[in-house]
Amino acid sequence: MIDVLLVLLVFFVTITSAEVLKVDKKLTLPISPNAKKREQSMVKHEMAINLRWNKDIDKGVLVVDDKIFENWADLIPILQDRKKKDDNLRVVIRGDAQLPASEIQRIMNIIGQAGIADIAFAASNR
């Protein structure tokens, strides 16, 4: 009996895919009382871009899939490749609450150069 349950468990684990955004625990999201939950239909099409604020160097730190990008333009071919693989790609910008608007504008320009128009912003509602 246990063998059958184990086989079923393994089967369901392998066919189930959980799409989770790569989040950066080192940043604090801005608070917005109007923040809405993610659209479940878009979850599998989302890619997270994490932007930390480093006050020591007075500069934003770009982190995607646990990789830090010194040159933000290096992200363009990666975004273009993901866009080719998924026409419905949505980039979710997870910017630190301390991040200046100029850094958000800078990453939005990079995303635009990659040909992606669907951009969302992550915020906490508490």
The crossing angle, in degrees rounded to 10, of helices 75-85 and 101-113 is 50
Does pTM surpass 0.85?
Answer: no
pLDDT band at 23 (very low <50, low <70, confident <90, very high): low
Looking up residue 114, the CATH number of its domain turns out to be: 3.30.420.270
pLDDT tens across 28-79, in order? 888 888 777 777 777 788 999 999 998 899 999 999 988 999 999 999 999 9
Cα–Cα distance, 89 to 47 (Å, whole number) = 7
Residue 45 placed within a domain: yes
Domain count, the chain: 1
